[in-house]
Structure 1
Amino acid sequence: MTDYQDVFNMLKNHDLSDFTADEEAAVQANIAKMQAVLDNKQVDLLETTINELAASIDAHYMVENDVAITYKKGLIIANKNNCMPSSYAPGESAQAAVAFSQMAADAANEGLSLNDFSTYRSYSGQKSLYDRYVAADGQEAADRYSSRPGCSEHQTGLAFDIGGSNSAAWAETTFDDTEEAIWLANNAYKYGFILRYPPGKESVTGYMYESWHYRYVGDIAKTIYDSGKTLEEYLEVE
């Protein structure tokens, strides 16, 4: 149940300040429902209840009755097999931004510079980027390093492309062996981030190794990090 509690801690602290009264009421009702499930140790209801909570939050950011978003253990899944509607536009996660700022500050205390050079990206923004890559390298090659519109983690607002002080190495393989990349690989989980596309896992994630691409998942990051698994492997999704 710890996994669900960790994700619940993240979801229940979502900023609802711009939600309508009805939207906020729906979220609060699902928070209360999830808390009751945890308190009563109703294991058989955990998955359904936390996914309902996540969906009630995300409903604010998309057109009503649009294509459904996929969740597992309350975490939104964005990959080649699980995409989002074009209307889904949550913006950059405030919780993730705060966590990154703390991580960057701690890294700076160790003499390292971390820069979040690409975070939230809209459906249309991803389409423009993907189309440009296809035009340059062909679709087969582009699909190894860029998501098709609607399938990008950046659209969730939870993906952070992180670089060091040398901007020339941002989103480049030259970042892989830098002090910043090594520090991130060993410490990002402490702040709720996981390396989303690790080396040797392209057959699982669908994307080549990206030492700069991190996904915010909150407290559950340590559990995923300790498991040595990708998000797909940990959540048992394709």
Structure 2
Amino acid sequence: MAEAPATFVWRDGALLERPLEPHRELVVADSFFVSPEGRARALETHHERFRAGIAELAGPSVEAVDAFWGAAIGRLRAYRGAALFPRMELAGFEGGGLELRLRVRIAPRRRESAVLSTHGGPDPRSVPRIKGPDLETLIALRAAAQENGADEVVLLKDGLVVDGSSSAVLWWRGETLAAPPGDLARVASVTARSIRLIASATGTRVVEERARPADLEGCEVWVVSALHGISVVDAWIDGPVVVVRPSRAATWQRRLDALARPL
């Protein structure tokens, strides 16, 4: 079995293991959780999001991206037995060069609950619909919040809940699942999309709401991501008082886990 962490770069149609080199900017990125059994959720949707981000920014050709992705997934199959959180990247370097690369990372500890705080400043994202350009800014924002006891930071646009620093935000009003509207710019969450598909399959009503944090008083709130799946919000620092219902999240997490397929 191969050992993580490791970094591979795409050169002349092949993945080559290399030391991680500093880059000028992270242009596009995509991460997903791989279980020790070598299973992942919605892998093709992650692939599509990565490809679309690169196409929008006029990066490598679709053919090159698809070849890289296929080779990267093949590499990941050698790591069975370890829980992974790999990241596919398109990175930019001084002088304008671009490089596709795979970072094989051991998955951090996964959580079932989360404490939120609200970002008090303007939206820090420069390219809110593409994962990558703002990733390092958002990681730093979350790290600062963690020093004050929060796990995730909620981002606002004109006072409305848009997204989390590394997750999507969903909430429940009774038996109705709610999400921010699609016209509020944010990265298309693969996990939130999977949850909405489960909702459709189970006959659960889903709505989109323009909500301020105070509007979520008394709601059950989830933050969802590829790494953690569903995290129930059990506190919101200087925010609304939320309802905690772990049993519902546990049921939906089992449904989400059932979507995982072998790499």
Q: TM-score, normalised by structure 2?
A: 0.33
Larger fraction in helix? 1
Higher relative contact order (CA 8 A, sep 6+): 2
Larger fraction in strand? 2
Q: TM-score, normalised by structure 1?
A: 0.35
